[in-house]
Amino acid sequence: MDIGRYGIWTFQLDFVPSGQSVDHLDELDELGFGAVWVPEAVGREAFTNAALLLRGGTDIVVATGIASIYARDPMAAAAAQRTVTEAYPDRFLLGLGVSHQPMVEGLRGHDYSKPYSTMKAYLEGMDQGLFMAAAPSTEPQRVLAALGPKMLELARDRAAGAHPYFVPPEHTAIARAALGDGKLLAVEQAVVFETDPAAARDIARSHTKIYTGLPNYANNLKRLDPTLTDDDFAHAGSDRLVDRIVAWGDMETILARVRAHHDAGADHVCIQVIDGGTDVPDQAWRDLSAALGLAG
């Protein structure tokens, strides 16, 4: 499976009718992006959404960023992965993750006490699950949402690679070292097209406010930089934390951050355009494609 060096990470497609989201996928394919990454939280169900999106495009891969392991049992996940892969060979990449305690325990009612052990057992259950239907012609592929050392090792040993989210390039270098050569490292990078610092950070905080209170992300960033304190994670993030996570400014500045991930070892960077709203940022996607020289 070739997802190229650049993709788009977007939650905005959840906010348009599925037929329109297919039209957007057609355009992303024509713009030359290798993959579009879509989430699973309180919006569309991951596998159904992927199958609907894959009606569009001819080459672009649809990847889940991520499908929660607490949303379905491992046999169901494996069956869904094989079903979508059979229908769309080499165009579906399953990103799996443990999500976060407030989502898993607060909204889904599951136990989040041992996320790593749960993920390990989940992958074993997927691999052992029965599937008595037409088999896919290509091998189903999965990556893990991995931040810490143990999950990165699991991504290396039991998956095609890792999909780190809400991370700076320093983490990408650590992830590459943990994964070794030959494993896919697909990193998300949030961007804001705004050159005024105050305005850019205000827009960026519409994104960071979702994540700064989640221990998985906070602990990961504190591992990277022990000088970060709880104050840096308050009120949607300090300036230095926001600047570390979200690339803002003109196109040249934003592409420099994308290149930094590649230089640190990323195979693929999926760019998430943040503008403070839920409208599909199609013009920004077009601008990115042109600046990266993807189309044509």
Residue 296 has pLDDT above 90, yes or no: no
Q: What would the pLDDT profile of 114-143 be if each residue is shown by its tens digit?
A: 999 999 999 999 999 999 999 999 999 999
Q: Indicate whether 25 belongs to any domain.
A: yes
Domain interval for residue 176? 6-205+248-292
In this structure, is residue 237 part of a structural domain? Answer: no
Residue 104: phi and psi, rounded to 5, are: -70, -45
Percentage, residues of the chain above pLDDT 90: 98
This model's pTM is above 0.95: yes
The CATH number for 108's domain is 3.20.20.30
Structural domain includes residue 281: yes
Question: In this structure, is residue 102 part of a structural domain?
Answer: yes
- Residue 235 covered by a domain: no
Assess if residue 231 is contained within a domain.
no
Tally of domains in the chain: 1
Q: Write the single-letter amino acid at 5.
A: R
